[in-house]
A and B are shown apart, each in its own frame.
Chain A
């Protein structure tokens, strides 16, 4: 066996490498290279990339990716750690998410978790996340924490208190003279939660519910349901539907009619926030009062909002996703901003410290200031109720200008008055 001996005055290859390495690290380029070798901060999530929720999931993910790229371009967090996203497709299915999140936690060993887009895929992972004591940034799910009571849950959505959604819509309807309501909701977690709060608000106000029906997923034809709803002669029609159904319902309303007595129609129709659906539905949208989260009105621009949409618009074309991206994408970016501010303030990835910071402070984001109540939802609702006006067929660009969706609620963002009854507003 030969023995390696370092001769006096000579320099070994190992020492040469160590010296060169130290010299390199001392230079600005070297600092960057060493930082680049730091382990990234890994954020894990599932996101619907296929299935009924994929349109929203892809836009939401692009928002998060734009945040990641912005942070990484600035040098990362915690002294140079880059952000890395670990993302799996949950196929819009609630049955996929528990296994995905188990893998993210136990196999991928990610540092932080973001929830998937929407209520249905999120609901099954809540008990597991609570049991493991992990921070979870919610992504547009509705009331998934109401029964679980996880104190490290923070929803990026602007919903606010559970009943605020129904309250704002029924306020608009009752101010227009509505004295009875109809409820049509998808037989899904999200829609049923909306319907439940609507029933509670109606009961408090002694507002009779003259039609109350849930319809199953994959319903092909809504003509007969709309006919039955019309026969009940409601003044206010509150619809809680999912994207594949919203278009079918509106088409049936246009064909069958809904009755002259209806003052407002809409409320909780998911899908009418997405560019492709809005473009497809065109003039059928006129008159519908529906929820939204962001619209191109002056009052809705905050620091960084315009820059975000400039980047989003370019990347959405390449990614073949919602070219408008109003509904989810800026909130995906805001999710990142929330966690970025918490990490900077806590100076670590310690989950309890991050949760404490998020709970106790107000956070500035591109969708406005966000403050959380103890249940992890917004302290105050920022959900918009807006009425479609003057929409023409097959024109995506019209939705980029103000005035196509007039904001009726909240008061501080209001941009017009309701046109009622519904049939008049459609003309």
Chain B
């Protein structure tokens, strides 16, 4: 039976859930969308960040969001190292770098997963904070605070990344390297260093996103597998490299998933993201907010 209240609730929760999807996809929008790096280890780095946040929260009682901020520089450095390794071993060697790069990043993802298991075991882990496990009452609707946190952080991250990429010299250089690497080289800039920097930014974003991941739900070492499809779907649907588009695409996905979950039966929900992706690509191959090449 149709209920307007349920539909409204589904839309509100869907928007918030979509923001969360957006936050965990923004890094990939830089690494895959702008740099063309087939970064399938993106969700593994995300889960690694969650465990780092868990460690700080569990042993030093650091607030999960603050912990996410604290690990950001470490993840930036991790990104620099990961890209340099990828570049030296795969990217500079030829035209099939992308295919071999996928194998490289799958390997990295498995190594991260095993390291987490060795260090933390296989059990689920979660964090504690005042905003976890409580809800804000808005009329008949109750909104979990943890989703409101995801909404705020995702919005802030999107704005910051958009401003960085459009207003700063390095940001514009990153966009330039995405458009024409050779032209940038002819102008005297080193595109590899710029790409390495951008990959560092993409990985640093995962510090905050990892905090959101463990705030929204408990994590386990293999959770990355659940996010590979979702994050790539959001980035491709948005149009490669569009930060604002990533957030909007994620919100569309979140709302669609939640409405299907609530109104039509949960079993259909996993198919929604890929059905929407196929639909979008059929109509706009460049994605919702991508530019025609």
Contacts and interface: CB of A to CB of B under 8 A. Distances in A.
Contacts of B269: 215-216, 219
A323 to B, nearest CB: 10
Contact of A215 (B113, B123, B218, B261): B261
Interface stretch (B1-9, B45-53, B176-184, B187-195): B1-9
B222 interface: yes
Chain A: interface size category: 35 or more
B267 interface: yes
Interface string A37-76: 0000000000001111011001000000000000000000
B144 to A, nearest CB: 4
Given A214-B267, A244-B124, A284 B261 contact: no
Nearest to A274: B123
Contact of A223 (B5, B13, B125, B223): B13
Interface stretch (B128-136, B198-206, B238-246): B128-136
Contacts of B134: 255
B266 A320 contact: no
Contact of B122 (A54, A231, A255): A54
Most chain B CB atoms below 10 A, which of A54, A221, A276 = A221
Contacts of A231: 3, 5-6
B41 to A, nearest CB: 16
Pick from B126, B128, B132, B134 the residue with the most CB of A within 10 Å.
B126
B261 A225 contact: yes
A426 B233 CA distance: 40
Contact of B262 (A49, A220, A225): A225
A248 interface: yes
A256 B124 contact: no
Contact of A251 (B10, B133, B142): B133
Nearest to A92: B222
B266 A55 contact: no
A219 B266 contact: yes
A323 B17 CA distance: 34
Interface in B1-43: 3, 5-6, 9-10, 13-14, 17, 20
A197 to B, nearest CB: 19
Contacts of B235: none
A277 interface: yes
A252 B258 CA distance: 14
Given A213-B266, A243-B124, A50 B5 contact: no
Contact of A50 (B20, B117, B135): B117
B124 A55 contact: yes
A394 B61 CA distance: 12
Contacts of B265: 213-214
B217 A254 contact: no
Contacts of B10: 224, 227
B133 A254 contact: yes
Given A50-B113, A225-B261, A280 B267 contact: no
Interface in B217-234: 217-218, 220-223, 226
B17 A322 contact: no
A321 interface: yes
Contacts of A274: 123
B133 A55 contact: no
A215 B267 contact: yes
Contact of A228 (B113, B120, B123, B262): B262
B144 A216 contact: no
Given A214-B266, A231-B5, A321 B122 contact: yes
Contact of A393 (B122, B128, B147): B128
B270 interface: yes
A-B residue pairs, 6 tightest by C-beta: A276-B123, A54-B122, A215-B266, A320-B121, A255-B135, A218-B226
14 contacts: A50-B122, A214-B265, A215-B267, A216-B266, A220-B17, A220-B216, A220-B217, A223-B147, A227-B9, A231-B6, A247-B218, A255-B134, A275-B123, A280-B124
Interface of B: 3, 5-6, 9-10, 13-14, 17, 20, 113, 117, 120-126, 128, 132-135, 142, 144, 147, 216-218, 220-223, 226, 258, 261-263, 265-267, 269-270
